[in-house]
Copies of this chain bind each other. A is one copy, B any other.
Amino acid sequence: MWFNTGRKMRVTVFGSSHGLGVGMTMEGIPPGTSIDLEEIKKALERRKPQSSDISTGRKEDDSFEILSGIKGNITDGSPITVFIRNKDIRSGDYGNLKFTPRPGHADYPAMVKYKEGYDERGGSFFSGRMTAPLVICGAICYELLKREGITIGSHIYSIEKIKDKAFDPVTLTKEQLSLLNREFFPLVDKGKEKEMKELIKSVKEDKDSLGGIIECGVTGLSPGLGSPRFMGLDSLIGAVMFSIPGVKGVEFGSGFRGTAFRGSRNNDQYRIKEGRVVALKNNAGGVLGGLSTGMPLLFRVAFKPVASIGREQKTVNLKTMKETVIRVEGRHDPCIVPRAASVVEAACAICLYDEMRYEGLL
């Protein structure tokens, strides 16, 4: 359960949703680096469930303890280990899940694989709660990237069929991203917020759930960052995004839509602008051959609708091997897309930091 490119960064996420807590151990941050713990708190705050009408009722204050690696606010060069104790656990809610996998959840393959080791309550270590330590790790990486002029931000590209305005792949700015990555409901077109929130509310009442797409952008990358082939920027980012619970698709630049373009349209031709090479378009999404092109890095991440819904669904009891029905009564978000923005940004920061460290650029 580690992010380990076999290089600079080594991150192990541990713990589980209904155990003692969740945490992570990371290596690769040089000694003597100052870390602003407030930034970590802010990042965790964005990931937390929001107002109860559009989010889960579970309350976690997500206060973390730094067990190792940071003294005061300075890294000492040893692994950084951070732990968040679980507090608001209502295990009773999950009593009926012991042998009945929730449709759409990791329950079924996990029950087969881990047997008694799998804690059906809240999905054990498959829980979305595991993204809290990921956000901590990402916040640390992002702080260090920011000092190099790199900015990461994302917005809710869509919830169900309601679409935000897409990023402009050429003119996307650091300023735009910096504003977005502070927001709890990040949108390019703020006008969509009401409509989206109302949809979420109504779907919640309807005991159903929603999916959506996060679009993430990065500015400030010089051309040529990345390693070719299996360790390309897109491979790294792709791998980590698919490790976020609920992600079913990742695309860069024109992505799937671009498969219907011809080369003459999709290719980003080059120009000189103020003495620098620029592309007139950015269908590549800022990455070619696994290397950054110097244009904004742009990718979209597809989140399926949340699996846990209050409606009756057909399932089976794996012990009796009889068909049955289930209603997932736990406190769940009807739509995790708004909260996912912080997770996507964190995961992206880890990849970029690892690559820059690996290349000796940081």
Contacts and interface: CB of A to CB of B under 8 A. Distances in A.
Chain A interface main SS type: mixed
The 3 lowest CB-CB distance pairs between A and B, nearest first, are: A106-B289, A31-B117, A113-B224
Interface stretch (A51-59, A175-183, A272-280): A272-280
Interface in A142-191: 158, 160-161
Nearest to A15: B68
B289 A126 contact: yes
Contacts of A116: 32, 74
Contacts of A232: 242-243
Given A103-B269, A104-B284, A228-B1, A210 B262 contact: yes
Chain A interface size range: 35 or more
A161 B65 CA distance: 47
Interface string A99-125: 001011111111011111111000111
Given A12-B10, A248-B255, A266 B117 contact: no
Interface string A241-279: 111010111111111101111111111111110010101
A67 B21 contact: yes
A1 B302 contact: no
A279 B12 CA distance: 32
Contacts of A2: 10, 27, 79, 229-231
A89 interface: no
Contact of A291 (B113, B161, B259, B304): B113
Given A14-B69, A223-B112, A289-B106, A209 B262 contact: yes
